[in-house]
Structure 1
């Protein structure tokens, strides 16, 4: 096959050289643009001239000074008390002060109709809890110190209740089997008697029964607070089993 062109004259053989020359020119132009500097134009020759002729003036306000006069006093001046000089020859009457003291031998009469009797109101002292009382109530037959009296009181009340309480009553009332609880609160008043009995339980009949038993406790020596007889409140929990 006959070749139509001279291989030495084909531009494709110089494509790499052209590309390198193009890259070099591009980098040179970019660098030249980055390093190019511009400066502001100097227009100072066209500026005008300012002449300062007048001096600066300040406006100073004029203050008028007025004479202040003191206020006029309308009150008259205080009068000076005149002292009267008494001559020695002038007689002066003396005032005699009578004594109000009474003589021991002189009887004093008192009008009893003017005396009004006032009844003293008795101070009401609230009931003091059993654990806080200074001198605990004494159950008949108990002796010893305050702690021993407390233990003896609890023991005697528990025994008294245990002997009189009918456990079968709960079964007769149809209560379900199991442990039942009763709570009783009562007061030993300042005369040693049992008052204000309150009970709470699973049935009203049981509450009434417990109240009657506690109300039948014997009379005791009342408790004392600061040496004075006072009411003492006592509570007892009761547990029994229904079979």
Structure 2
């Protein structure tokens, strides 16, 4: 049976080939369009490419500068030594030695003035030669240990916990520093604590300390500072 249409006149026979050729042409045109470069011409383009002729180039003239001559070197002339004749009328100066020798007289002890060393006004507790003496420690073997024990005993005896501090729940340590003066009295009291109420009570306890024998440095009364903590603790 013969086909109704001529195979050579069928348009769909080479459609795949035509499609491939058209696709390749479109891709080529798109690539050329994307890679195409164009430049905008500016009015300064001619100036940028302007070239000067060689005749217009001016070379700086070569000039010769005359420098001043260097200064002449300094020549040190040797000093002139003048030789004079001996003169018998001139007397030589005798320089007497001031170093002591066996003929030097020794000054008596009464003529020598001894400089007095100034004693410090305030001496720390640990370095003072004679520590202050608390009343009742006269017969103690160690006055420093007895002093500290009597201070602790005095604090326990006069300790009163303020009611306002108990109601407010205040407690803590108050560091107290006071100075035993040259006459044995207590002065220069300083303290630091967690609250003013506790500091006031610590000051009241220290104010009740009795008069003591002052500390001494080389036999001279001096001021001796002493520090002690007072602890306030709620049960």
With the length of structure 1 as denominator, give the TM-score of the two structures.
0.47
TM-score, normalised via structure 2 length: 0.48
Larger radius of gyration: 1
